[in-house]
Structure 1
Amino acid sequence: MKVVKFGGSSVANATQLRKVADIVLDDPERKVVVVSAPGKRSSDDVKMTDLLIELAGKVIGNEDYDTALSAVMDRFREIIQELELSEDLTETIQKNIQYIISSHESAEWTLDALKSCGEDGSAQILSAYLQSKDVKAAYVNPKEAGIIVSDEPGQAQVLDESLEQLYKLHEREGILVVPGFFGYSKEGRLVTFPRGGSDITGSIVAAGVKADLYENFTDVDSVYCVNPNIVSNPKQITSLTYKEMRELSYAGFSVFHDEALIPAFKAKIPVCIKNTNNPQAPGTMIVAENEAGYGRVTGIASDKGFLTLYVSKYLMNREIGFGRRLLQILEDENISFEHAPSGIDDMSVILREEELYGEKEERILARIQEELDVDMVNIERNMAMVMLVGEGMNSTIGLASQATRAFREAEVNIEMINQGSSEVSMMFGVDAEGMERVVQYLYREFFE
């Protein structure tokens, strides 16, 4: 059995949905299909999820929502009519949306429930289209499928009992179409996953049914070794490991949200990234182990929007608990940190820029000064992170020398360097203005 997931661009309109149906029917092992909400039809279009968020805002704010609702339904209606499906399907989708609006319990529930209508509508439309082609297919609601999650609106985590429930899908015949992005709490409450939620659903379903392969169809032939917006025509990655993918997705690779593969990773299910518009391309395989490529640089990731919280104190290394107390101040302010390289008398904490602002920033600086009695504390903004990723890089002699040569040739100063014991990545902090230039030189050094 294969579980196959289609992203927003793959279900954006009727033309794309026809491609999806052809891909599913081309392989009899593709038994479970997970779909996203309709994405953009063009670069200046609006995603269905954004239309639903606007609708939710109107409902929650007790404003007139007729125009926002019409925008949502017009999009669904266009797809249904072009696929020559029954108008009853349009009415079913609209009744579901109207029910959520009339049941408006709380802002959190209304937002989650309305956001889920994009994926839910896609699943109902695809299953109906498959049925119109005389294919045995069924829409399966996440509650019916057994996707049980924690009751955390917008931040749901799948619960272990889901996997046993999902395995029962083997007992059903035909093609099963499941909407991504949401599940149900033990109390029966609809709750959505975080960003990248449909990928998370696909991974959960693949783990639950113990699939032989999880195929994730998007709008690119494969994962590239570097951002194609920075380097023209970069090389494609044919195979990489879960660890490599998680590092790459965390640091700016947009194919996957970095938590999306965790269920598949735990179940050791291989994942294949493929292109809906070019399904014959081999794509990129993501596997548990990739011995053939051990020790090489697999990809270069980069991302802007970081800052450094720098703290200095003489004889810091002799002060037991200093690091814990510093990080405790951040925890008290509900701030998560990304990295924390340190020296004998100083320590830097790398944060996302949006984590620290205004009064919160002033309060934290004051607390560090008063509670830790430091010699210096300051903040440096406008940082970018550039990351080399590859299993076993730490055992490759001369790799750091190659990297620093690229920085020298790009004339970009290294503000921070960090390599963990995992041997999967080497990270460099640079001024954001030099990020793209150094990525281009690193690509030349390791891939050309």
Structure 2
Amino acid sequence: MKVVKFGGSSVASGAQLKKVTEILESDPERTVVVVSAPGKRTADDEKVTDLLIQLGESVDDNHMNGDIYEKVRNRFKEIIDDLDLSDRTLSEITNKIDEGIAMIRGGAANGIDALKACGEDGTALILSAFLSERKHNASYVHPKEAGIFLKDEPGGALVLEESFAHLYELRKKEGILVIPGFFGYTKEGKLITFSRGGSDITGSIVAAGVKADLYENFTDVDSVYCVNPALVKNPKEMKNLTYREMRELSYAGFSVFHDEALIPAFKEKIPVCIKNTNNPEAPGTMIVAEREDTCGDVVGIASDDGFVTIYVSKYLMNREIGFGRRLLHILEDEEVSFEHAPSGIDDMSIILREDVLPSHKEETVVKRIREELQVDTVEIERNMAMIMIVGEGMNQRVGVASKATRAFEKAGVNLEMINQGSSEVSMMFGIHEDGMEKSVQELYKMYFS
């Protein structure tokens, strides 16, 4: 049994869904399918999820943006017409969109989630109807019916362990099962969504639940590249990666995979293959628990901007028992999650995503740190970027760090932070974001040219 997930570009149009159907027809083991919402058809197109968010934000008691509503409806209509499906499918999707709007107007806390979920739900309804038209035994499986139960957490839902037992029951169903990604339900029946890009998480959860032999994630690239192709021309392809390497790369900016997506597959030791919907014969990139060719080399370079640093300094900080705990407790109190916390004898830096520390919250956090911890210095630095070099066993390879620092020197970029800690897989560097592109290019030359 293979679980197959198709991303937004793979389901963006009727033509793409025909390719999806051919891929499913080419391998009878591809019996469970997870789909995203329709993505961009061209570079200047809009994703359906973005349109649904805009629509939800425009809704009030007496008004909504009718133009956006029609845009969403017409995207689905174009796909349905291209596949020669009946208007019944469009009516079903439209009803779900209307229900989401009604929930927002009714003040439901999860109204916007219900509306956003219509993208994935619509794709699943269309694909299952098209497969049935092609005389396949295919069925749409709602996430609640599948047993995808979630815990509502800030920043995105988390799967409950009991979901996996429910999902295993899907093995008893015959034919091709089509499941919408991105959302599930609490035990109380409330619809909630994963964080953005969460269809990857659904696919991994379903693969783990049914104990699939392989989880195939179809996107729009032949394989994973060792660096962002937008920053380096014709970068090297990676044919094999470990779960840990892919997790680190995804977290640090690789857009191929949601950074939380591999965890369920990792726990069940299910191999993952990233493939191209537009070139399904290409071997793709295999992600496995272990690989034989691990020799401590750098396999990938990831980069991302949009970080902020809270720098705190206090003389004899190292002698003050509980200082770090109390600092992090202030962030917990203010519902601010952190990414990294490198420290010295008298100072400590907290690395955060910018979106978790808006200006009004920044003032509160800084004030509390000053007053409660009696620090000498507290400074906020925005517009930071993080660059990560990744490779299994890298910490046992002599000269990896020196190559990196030489690359930053050649790029003329000052290092604000270096963080490796106990990781055997990655080393992270913090810089100002205006030096990110040049730094990545020099790192690529150093490790791959």
**Shorter-chain TM-score category?**
over 0.9
Q: Is the CA contact 1:108–1:153 (under 8 Å) kept in the aligned structure 2?
A: no
Distance 1:189 1:307, change over 3 A: closer
Q: Which residue of 2 aligns with 1:199?
A: 200
Q: Is the CA contact 2:2–2:215 (under 8 Å) kept in the aligned structure 1?
A: yes
**Separation in 1, partners of 2:101, 2:308:** 41
Secondary structure at 1:308's aligned position in 2? strand
User: Structure 1 residue 314: deviation in Å?
Assistant: 1.9
TM-score by length of 1: 0.95
1:8 aligns with 2:8: yes
User: Structure 1 residue 184: deviation in Å?
Assistant: 1.9
Q: Which residue of 1 aligns with 2:40?
A: 40
Q: Write the mapping of 1:13-412 to structure 2, written as runs, cut at 5 A.
A: 13-102=13-102, 105-151=106-152, 155-412=156-413
Q: Is the CA contact 2:12–2:38 (under 8 Å) kept in the aligned structure 1?
A: yes
Distance 1:354 1:124, change over 3 A: closer
User: Structure 1 residue 62: deviation in Å?
Assistant: 3.4
Q: Is the CA contact 1:340–1:349 (under 8 Å) kept in the aligned structure 2?
A: yes
TM-score by length of 2: 0.95
User: Structure 1 residue 60: deviation in Å?
Assistant: 4.2
**Separation in 1, partners of 2:97, 2:346:** 59
What percent identity do the matched residue pairs reach?
A: 68
User: Structure 1 residue 153: deviation in Å?
Assistant: 8.6
Q: Is the CA contact 2:244–2:425 (under 8 Å) kept in the aligned structure 1?
A: yes
**Separation in 2, partners of 1:97, 1:437:** 44
Farther off after superposition, 429-438 or 248-257:
429-438
**Separation in 2, partners of 1:97, 1:357:** 31
Cα deviation 1:75-117 (Å, max 9, x = unaligned): 1111111111112222222233334444554343221111111
Query: Which residues of structure 2 form unaligned runs of 5+?
Result: none
Letter of the 1:194 counterpart = S
Farther off after superposition, 96-105 or 178-187:
96-105
**Separation in 2, partners of 1:59, 1:362:** 31
**Separation in 2, partners of 1:342, 1:113:** 42
User: Structure 1 residue 260: deviation in Å?
Assistant: 1.4
Letter of the 1:376 counterpart = T
User: Structure 1 residue 236: deviation in Å?
Assistant: 0.9
Q: Is the CA contact 1:60–1:110 (under 8 Å) kept in the aligned structure 2?
A: no
User: Structure 1 residue 431: deviation in Å?
Assistant: 2.1
**Separation in 1, partners of 2:110, 2:233:** 44
User: Structure 1 residue 334: deviation in Å?
Assistant: 1.6
User: Structure 1 residue 163: deviation in Å?
Assistant: 0.9
User: Structure 1 residue 154: deviation in Å?
Assistant: 7.3
**Separation in 1, partners of 2:11, 2:99:** 25
Letter of the 1:9 counterpart = S
**Separation in 2, partners of 1:321, 1:21:** 58
Letter of the 1:53 counterpart = I
Distance 1:315 1:447, change over 3 A: same
Letter of the 2:281 counterpart = Q
Letter of the 1:371 counterpart = E
Secondary structure at 2:308's aligned position in 1? strand
Distance 1:59 1:370, change over 3 A: closer
**Separation in 2, partners of 1:61, 1:233:** 52
User: Structure 1 residue 254: deviation in Å?
Assistant: 0.7
**Separation in 2, partners of 1:6, 1:122:** 10
**Separation in 2, partners of 1:121, 1:93:** 6
Q: Is the CA contact 2:55–2:64 (under 8 Å) kept in the aligned structure 1?
A: no
**Separation in 1, partners of 2:93, 2:119:** 10
Q: Is the CA contact 1:196–1:260 (under 8 Å) kept in the aligned structure 2?
A: no
